[in-house]
């Protein structure tokens, strides 16, 4: 059976040059850093799916429960004939909860990982023959372009998983402001946001017993080794994750076990023992602090949902 999936090649996979340039700049910075968007090569995307299944990683499970419970309310607000646009669609699992209840006209999945995107949207097209499925590979960190040949009438953007947490509040306001700009009046943004909570619960979610998060973090070095001219050895680094209360964020780092030189694209970088390569920030909000951020980007907050323990939240923002 031929699968009716429209892959928009107009939006290109962020090319290798962006990885090279950004990693070089990040290694030269002090403290050293690499953007978390580079976690998601195929292996990284698979490891992230495994993180989502760890008992300590409450985010995915809780968001799915909230979405399942809120689906009828969401359909009421969105109205009929929506065009669902998923940002950072990954394995496109959560969106299934919405597809069944909302019955949108079309679905556009946007993700930075091209082959992962192809596989998951193909699966959606096979499972929902009534749905017009589109896919576009893009890094929307610096804004988002919708494909010219994708018609939107009643867009509902879906930005799940607390991916917004990877942006600083300032960057998040900018990104939300940009999404607000490309939405027509009445257009919606359904966004999942992780909440501030007990530090031990937060830290456990990023230090799972099975060490999947550690493998995910270290895979970034393996990816750099695979795709760039680099001799970095992942076994000479350890995973570290903790909650920075002052900044209201989980920080992930890779800590050098020893004094070492790393060769990267013809340059040499020194790591002190215990020196950190900062790989991720994951900001945590309160219901009110996120609503304030959304308002400052021009959005009206139509509704917010949370679970009984107030671990996670889903917000319906409207232009
Ligand atoms: C996809 C950014 C929401 O911050 O919880 C999971 C990524 N990093 N474990 C998060 C992640 C480590 C995740 N986000």
Average pLDDT, the chain: 92
What pLDDT was estimated at residue 123? Answer: 93
Give the closest residue to 5 by CA, choosing from 125, 161, 151.
125
Ligand 1 center to 163 CA (angstroms): 7
298: alpha, beta or left, given left = phi > 0 and alpha = psi -120 to 50? Answer: left
Cβ of 162 less than 6 Å from ligand 1: yes
211: alpha, beta or left, given left = phi > 0 and alpha = psi -120 to 50? Answer: left
Distance CA 242, CA 283 (A): 12
For residue 88, the ligand 1 atom closest to its alpha carbon is: 1
How many other β-carbons are positioned within 10 Å of the β-carbon of residue 207?
A: 17
Cβ of 88 less than 6 Å from ligand 1: no
Cβ of 62 less than 6 Å from ligand 1: no
Tell me the three-class secondary structure of 134-182, residue by residue.
Answer: EEEECCHHHCCCCCCCCCCCCEEEEECCCHHHHCCHHHHHHHHHHHHHH
Cβ of 59 less than 6 Å from ligand 1: yes
What's phi and psi for 32, nearest 5 deg? -65, 145
For residue 282, the ligand 1 atom closest to its alpha carbon is: 4
**Predicted interface score ipTM higher than 0.90:** yes
Q: Whose CA is nearest to atom 13 of ligand 1?
A: 163
Pocket test for ligand 1, best of 37, 44, 48 (most atoms within 8 A of CB): 48
Residue showing tokens 């991916």: 163
What pLDDT was estimated at residue 2? Answer: 41
Tokens of 118: 């192809």
Cβ of 163 less than 6 Å from ligand 1: yes
What pLDDT was estimated at residue 212? Answer: 98
Those residues of the chain that have pLDDT short of 50 are: 1-2
Tell whether pTM > 0.90.
yes
Cβ of 282 less than 6 Å from ligand 1: yes
Cβ of 281 less than 6 Å from ligand 1: no
What's phi and psi for 264, nearest 5 deg? -140, 115
Cβ of 165 less than 6 Å from ligand 1: yes
Cβ of 279 less than 6 Å from ligand 1: no
DSSP state of 42: H
Q: Whose CA is nearest to atom 14 of ligand 1?
A: 163
Distance CA 202, CA 108 (A): 32
Distance CA 230, CA 252 (A): 22
Burial state string for 44-56 with b = 16 or more CB within 10 A and e = fewer than 16: bbebbeebbebeb
Beta carbons of 104 and 84 less than 8 angstroms apart: yes
CA angle 232, 116, 6 (to 5 degrees): 140
Cβ of 44 less than 6 Å from ligand 1: no
Ligand 1 center to 28 CA (angstroms): 25
Cβ of 187 less than 6 Å from ligand 1: no
Q: How many CA atoms are closer than 13 Å to the CA of 231, on its beta-carbon side?
A: 9
Ligand 1 center to 213 CA (angstroms): 9
């Amino acid at each position: 059976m031929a699968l009716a999936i429209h892959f928009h090649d107009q939006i290109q996979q962020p090319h290798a040059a962006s990885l090279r340039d950004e990693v070089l700049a990040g290694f030269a910075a002090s403290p050293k850093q690499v953007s978390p968007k580079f976690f998601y090569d195929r292996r990284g995307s698979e490891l992230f799916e495994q993180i989502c299944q760890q008992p300590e990683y409450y985010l995915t499970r809780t968001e799915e429960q909230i979405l399942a419970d809120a689906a009828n309310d969401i359909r009421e607000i969105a109205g009929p004939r929506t065009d669902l646009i998923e940002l950072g669609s990954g394995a496109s699992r959560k969106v299934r909860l919405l597809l069944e209840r909302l019955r949108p006209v079309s679905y556009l999945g946007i993700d930075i990982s091209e082959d992962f995107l192809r596989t998951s949207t193909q699966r959606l097209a096979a499972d929902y023959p009534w749905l017009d499925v589109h896919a576009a590979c893009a890094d929307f960190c610096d804004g988002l372009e919708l494909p010219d040949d994708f018609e939107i009438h009643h867009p509902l953007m879906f930005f799940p998983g607390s991916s917004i947490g990877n942006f600083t509040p300032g960057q998040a306001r900018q990104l939300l402001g940009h999404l607000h700009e490309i939405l027509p009046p009445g257009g919606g943004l359904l966004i999942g946001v992780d909440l501030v909570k007990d530090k031990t619960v937060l830290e456990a979610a990023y230090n799972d017993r099975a060490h999947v998060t550690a493998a995910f973090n270290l895979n970034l070095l393996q990816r750099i080794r695979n795709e760039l001219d680099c001799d970095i050895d992942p076994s000479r680094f350890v995973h570290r994750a903790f909650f920075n209360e002052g900044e209201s964020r989980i920080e992930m780092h890779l800590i050098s076990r020893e004094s070492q030189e790393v060769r990267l694209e013809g340059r040499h970088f020194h790591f002190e023992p215990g020196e950190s390569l900062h790989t991720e920030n994951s900001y945590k909000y309160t219901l009110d602090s996120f609503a304030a951020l959304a308002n400052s980007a021009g959005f009206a907050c139509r509704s917010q949902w949370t679970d009984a323990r107030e671990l996670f939240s889903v917000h319906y923002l409207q232009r």
